[in-house]
């Protein structure tokens, strides 16, 4: 099973804003991308926009393939 694809797009940010996001991401042990997504979800929730829960990334080693044995 593959994870649903995510929409990629370029985003231009003020350098000071990016630096602030980068600092908060580091303190939350997240990537800048994950922090931006988290902040957007929080902002939408404050506006009453309901979203499905994010799909958690699968971690660890992939299952052993039984093909070709």
Instruction: Report pLDDT for 69.
Output: 54
Question: Which residues form the domain of 27?
Answer: 15-46
Q: Classify residue 28: in a domain, yes or no.
A: yes
pTM: 0.69
Q: Classify residue 55: in a domain, yes or no.
A: no
Q: Classify residue 21: in a domain, yes or no.
A: yes
> Positive or negative CA dihedral for 54, 24, 14, 50?
positive
Number of domains the chain contains: 1
Q: Classify residue 22: in a domain, yes or no.
A: yes
Which residues in the chain land under pLDDT 50? 1
Instruction: Report pLDDT for 52.
Output: 84
* Nearest C-alpha neighbor of 29 from the set 38, 17, 42: 38
């Amino acid at each position: 099973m593959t994870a649903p694809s995510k929409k990629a797009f370029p985003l231009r940010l003020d350098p000071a804003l990016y630096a602030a996001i980068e600092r908060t991401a580091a303190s939350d042990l997240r990537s800048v991308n994950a922090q931006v997504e988290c902040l957007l979800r929080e902002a939408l929730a404050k506006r009453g926009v309901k979203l499905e829960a994010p799909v958690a990334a699968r971690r660890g080693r992939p299952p052993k393939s039984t093909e070709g044995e």
